Structure 1
Amino acid sequence: MTGVPGAPPRARGHRPPAGDPVVDRALALLSAFDSNRPYLTLSELSRRTGIPASSALRLAGRLLEWGALERGADGRFSIGLRLWEVASLSPRSHGLRQVALPFMGDLEEVTRQHVLLAVREGEEAVMVERLSSHGAVPALYRAGGRLPLHSTGVGLVLLAFAEPGFQEEVLAQPLMHQPENVPVSPAALRRTLAEIRRDGLSTLRRAAPGPIVSVAAPVHDAQGTVVAALSVVVPAENAEPRLLGPAVRTAARGISRGLGAWRAPATP
């Protein structure tokens, strides 16, 4: 097919300069929400995404129709349940959660605190499930939230069993323990990761938002790859990691067997 006479040829693989594709702008609207701002007005959506208000309103309307957004009586937007329904189908969380929940329930019943399950996503961990008892210590992270790899129990496990090249990339960055905002020593972190690989267990103590102890263990798939980390988070007072460690490791090995890892690594 020939083009219009005299018109410059259209470059293959390049879109015309008419702005970002609709899908990119729609994703930008969804990404504007976070745990601190779960409700946003139209003007806030426009400001946080850089999309003109008229375009933001039109895109938000389409997302409302599909169910990815909801709008309250006050006019503010929030993430819709349809988006959660679709996200819950992710194989990395759905099958894993189904297998893990009975074991997590047992740990939660024993500890009466928090039990966390997380997977690695890029340079962060994503919590795919959290069980918490009434009266549990304050928790920094929610289910669906992102956690730093270098300063959380589950994150350290996922980092310890990640590819060596990825570990070196993380270790080369200026890292801070959060929320204490204390610099991380690369040498100390390297030793910690080696200990986690050796013991199959991570024990992390932190002072904020309250004194807690996190004990975490790796979860393996049928190929023996570490695909998740399981942890308990308990008050530092009277915490006994030596007792918690075997319980967490046993639960993690049970989840691993449920994922097909019949030859889960033996307890050190």
Structure 2
Amino acid sequence: MTTPDKDTVLDRVLRILSAFDARRPQLSVAELSRLTTIPLASAYRLVGQLAQEDILARYPDGSIGLGMRLWELAARSSPAVSLRTAAMPFLDDVQSIFRQHTQLSVLDDLEVLVVERLSSRNSVVNQATVATRMPIHTVSMGLAQLAFQPDHVVEEYFAMYPAARDMTYSTTGSITNTLAKIRRDGFVMLEGMLDDGTTGAAVPVFDKPSGRHRIAIAAISVVIPNEFEQRSAVIPVLMAASRGLTRALQPVTKTE
């Protein structure tokens, strides 16, 4: 955390941009000032400068939101864009079969970041929207990736979220047992992680098709009703999609 005497303009800009999320797509300058602990006069000045560059947008009611130029800049070169482009054929295939929620996610700063979500009109409730961040241990798509990280990454995560060490799951027990089971099975399927009546199933996407010490670089997951008629087909379909995406990423995977 930046101390007040070292609070740079860049620090403040990043705090302003980070204040917006799915629950707060628009904020007043006063709200931004409060949420970011930036003095109101400075918040007005920074918001004005960012709005001039279309990094922020001003709405008729005076509220502020993220501007289109921010999306444009991110869309040009973000690694997530390349991953999403490669994944879309496989996500489309999964979604066409189950017609619920199909998601692509990555780990970023020891959090789950949802990169893409495909949904159908009559699908079950799902809190994970695109650009949503969540603690890894609270969702199946996070556990599927954490299980295939180096030991030091797992320890860093537990250091950041000490309560995660005590997490238990209804069908797999402790988080340690759950991660071990995921490593053995290659997938995770857990009920009621975020919403009652739903099941989250996820499989990792790897940095290489085979061999020891593979690392998960993403996850493909679905959210389905607990009583889903096609439940037995979920894991085979997800694993086929994962293998396909892992292979598709190989031409652009950096090698030492």
TM range (shorter): 0.7 to 0.9
Distance verdict in 2 for CA 1:63–1:102, change over 3 Å: same
Pick one of 227, 230, 234 that aligns with 2:224. Answer: 234
Change in Cα spacing, 1:18 to 1:188, as seen in structure 2 (3 Å) is closer
Q: Does 1:97 align with 2:119?
A: no
Letter in 2 for 1:184: M
Relative distance call for 1:170 and 1:28 in structure 2 (3 A) is closer
Structure 1 alignment gaps of length 5 or more: 1-16, 177-182, 262-268
SS of structure 1 residue aligned to 2:20: coil
Name the CA distance, whole Å, in 1 between partners of 2:37 and 2:84: 37
Per mean C-alpha deviation after superposition, the further-off stretch among 24-33 and 149-158 is 24-33
User: Which moved further from structure 2: 100-109 or 85-94?
Assistant: 85-94
> Is 2:248 the counterpart of 1:258?
yes
Q: For the residues of structure 2 that align with 1:21 and 1:147, how far apart are their CA atoms? A: 27
| CA gap 1:42/1:207 in 2 versus in 1, 3 angstroms | closer
251-260 vs 239-248, which moves further: 239-248
Q: Indicate the structure (1 or 2) with the bigger Cα radius of gyration.
A: 1
Deviations 1:161-195 (A, max 9, x none): 1111222343461139xxxxxx6149711111111
* Alpha-carbon separation, structure 2, partners of 1:163 and 1:148: 18
TM-score by length of 2: 0.86
- Structure-2 residue corresponding to 1:175: 164
C-alpha distance 91-253 of structure 1, shift in aligned 2 (>3 A): farther
Shift of residue 153, structure 1, vs aligned partner: 1.3
Q: 1:105 to 1:238 in 2, by over 3 A?
A: same
Give aligned-pair identity as a percent: 39
Counterpart amino acid of 2:88?
L
Q: What is the CA–CA distance in structure 2 between the aligned matches of 1:56 and 1:249, rounded to whole Å?
A: 48
Residues 215 and 241 in structure 1, CA contact (< 8 A), matched pair in contact too: no
User: CA 1:90 to 1:214, structure 2 compared with 1: closer, same or farther past 3 Å?
Assistant: farther
Go from structure 1 to structure 2 and tell me whether the alpha carbon gap of 1:185 and 1:222 turns closer, same or farther (over 3 Å shift).
Answer: closer
2:178 corresponds to which residue? 192
Deviation of 1:131 (Å): 0.5
CA distance in 2, matches of 1:242, 1:46: 50
Total equivalences in the alignment: 240
Is 1:113 equivalent to 2:100 in the alignment? yes
Please tell me the residue identity of whatever aligns with 2:197.
P
More helix by share: 2
Structure 2 Cα separation of the partners of residues 243 and 195 of structure 1 = 19
Partner of 2:134: 147
Give the alignment of 1:13-52 within 5 angstroms.
20-52=7-39
Q: Counterpart amino acid of 1:200?
A: G
Distance 1:229 1:208 in 2: 17
Q: Which residue matches 1:129?
A: 116
CA distance in 1, matches of 2:193, 2:206: 30
Distance 1:63 1:91, change over 3 A: closer
Task: Tell me, in whole angstroms, the C-alpha distance in 1 between the residues paired with 2:112 and 2:194.
Answer: 19
For normalisation by structure 1, the TM-score amounts to: 0.82
Q: SS of the counterpart of 1:88?
A: helix
Asked whether the 8 Å contact 1:221–1:256 carries over to 2, the reply is: yes
RMSD: 2.3
The question of whether the paired residues in 2 share the 8 Å contact of 1:107 and 1:248 is answered with yes
Q: Pick which of 116-125 and 216-225 moved more.
A: 216-225
